[in-house]
Amino acid sequence: MRIAVIHGPNLRLLGRREPEVYGTATLADIDAGLHKLGETIGTEIESFQSNSEGEILDFIEEASSRVDGFLVNPGGLTHTSVSFRDGLVGVELPFVEVHLSNTASRERFRKHSFLAPVAEGVVIGFGMESYLLGLRGLVAHIASR
């Protein structure tokens, strides 16, 4: 099985950006944890990060022919991007939305996700563990189909 991980805008700054909200794990730490878990559960991981919505949409289209699903932290695009949502829906592959922080307990605008209603699941608030839990859930979902 092969899963593409999409890290949205500003996630390259993890570990330095608001560590009291997002924790001290860097993007490299998260990717290393995902690759390690992937090896354990027999899943190949492909990671991608961009601050550009257009590049993310291009990646979704390109990767859809070689992966079985997507693990997505859309960052700020969660609350603003219908295009991101439509891009994921359009390739007809399952995806799980993850967030390091508990978006439901933060500012009002962060409570709405354009992706959540069409995702297989959403994992929020567990820091780096959100990614690992999301990966396990996505792999189990795909395996059960």
Domain that holds residue 45: 9-143
Beta-carbon contacts of 134 under 8 Å, excluding residues fewer than 6 positions away, are 71, 96, 97, 98, 121, 123
Place of tokens 């967030």: 99
Is 99 in the active site?
A: yes
Strand partners, 48: 6
Q: How many domains does the chain have?
A: 1
Q: Is 79 a catalytic residue?
A: no
State pLDDT tens for residues 123-138: 999 999 999 999 999 9
Give this prediction's pTM.
Answer: 0.91
Question: Exactly one of 7, 79, 99, 112 is catalytic; which is it?
Answer: 99
Residue 48 sits in a domain of what CATH number? 3.40.50.9100
| pLDDT tens track for 32-67 | 999 999 999 999 999 999 999 999 999 999 999 999
Structure confidence by residue, pLDDT tens digits, 96-126 = 999 987 676 556 756 678 899 999 999 999 9
Domain contains 3 = no
Which single residue is written with the structure tokens 């991608």?
A: 48
Whether the pLDDT of residue 80 is over 70: the answer is: yes
In a domain, 2, yes or no: no
Q: Residue 140 above 70 pLDDT?
A: yes
| pLDDT, position 131 | 97
